[in-house]
Amino acid sequence: MRTVLSWVAFAVAIYTFSGLWGAVRGVWEGRPMVPPAAFLGLVTTFLLSLGYVAFVVYAADRAAGKVRRPIAFFDRFLDQGHHE
């Protein structure tokens, strides 16, 4: 299930990045087409979806012992269920 969610999150990140790029291009061309609230929604969705993908990749690397530089923020979530 995590694999499917990872691919969905990646697809959402690509889709929202496309929307963000279109919004930025519109501003550069002097005709903004995306309202500020929608733009903030795109930014938030992009960061959350890409963050989830990064978390899943980090978790897999950590489980395989391949992490060279730990990310404390991710480690806090990964360690929550492992206290005895």
Q: Is residue 71 over pLDDT 70?
A: yes
CA 70 to chain centre: 18
Question: Could you give the CA distance from residue 84 to residue 71 in angstroms, rounded to a whole number?
Answer: 22
What pLDDT sits at residue 2? 80
What pLDDT sits at residue 82? 62
Domain count, the chain: 1
Rg (CA), the chain: 17
- The chain-wide mean pLDDT, for the chain, equals 93
Q: Is residue 81 over pLDDT 80?
A: no
- SS3 sequence of 65-83: CCCCCCCHHHHHHHHHHHC
Q: Six-digit token pair at 64? A: 């395989």
Per-residue pLDDT tens digits for 25-51: 999 999 988 999 999 999 999 999 999
The domain in which residue 12 lies consists of: 2-82
Q: Give one word for 40, left, alpha or beta, with left for phi > 0 and alpha for psi -120 to 50.
A: alpha
